[in-house]
Amino acid sequence: MAEILGNYLLRFRISVPAGAVLVPVPLHPRRERERGFNQSELIARDLGAILGIPFESLLFRSRPTYPQTPLDYAARRTNVENAFSAHTNTRHKLAILVDDVKTTGATLDAAARALKKAGVKRVWAITFTH
């Protein structure tokens, strides 16, 4: 997936400012153990290698959440509210959140709020599918 996405960005010369960092949306540790991997982390690592953008796990899940799939818009927002925390005092001015899917944007919004609270000035997001 990252190769397709990376090649698309390169093909259309979508520029990323210097100093940007790719940040995967984290899974709760229990969910990652069950699954065996974090798909967003795999995409972010590979995308970073293709584009020459550093990868850094600035976020972590501060609490478990329910699966988003069966939830409506309002329930999704409530489900992920305050579910993310970021390592404080980050030096990064631009963080690019990486996730596999965007449905309502609730997860990306919650993750972006955590990054901004930690000092990130701007947050972009990139997903493989919408």
pLDDT in tens, the chain (130 residues): 556 655 556 555 667 778 899 999 999 888 889 999 999 998 899 888 888 889 999 999 999 899 888 999 999 999 999 999 998 777 788 999 999 889 899 999 999 999 999 999 999 998 877 6
Distance CA 34, CA 56 (A): 23
Token pair in block for residue 16: 């990323």
Distance CA 80, CA 97 (A): 15
Residue 63: C-alpha distances to residues 14, 28, 36, 45 (Å): 35, 7, 19, 24
Instruction: Specify the CATH number for the domain of residue 32.
Output: 3.40.50
Nearest CA to 45 out of 75, 9, 27, 21 is that of: 21
Q: What are phi and psi of 18, to 5 degrees?
A: -60, 145
Amino acid at 67: P
pTM for this predicted structure: 0.87
Distance CA 68, CA 75 (A): 8
Q: Which 3 state secondary structure label does DSSP give 20?
A: strand
Counted domains in the chain: 1
Provide the domain limits for residue 88.
Answer: 2-129
Token pair in block for residue 5: 């996405």
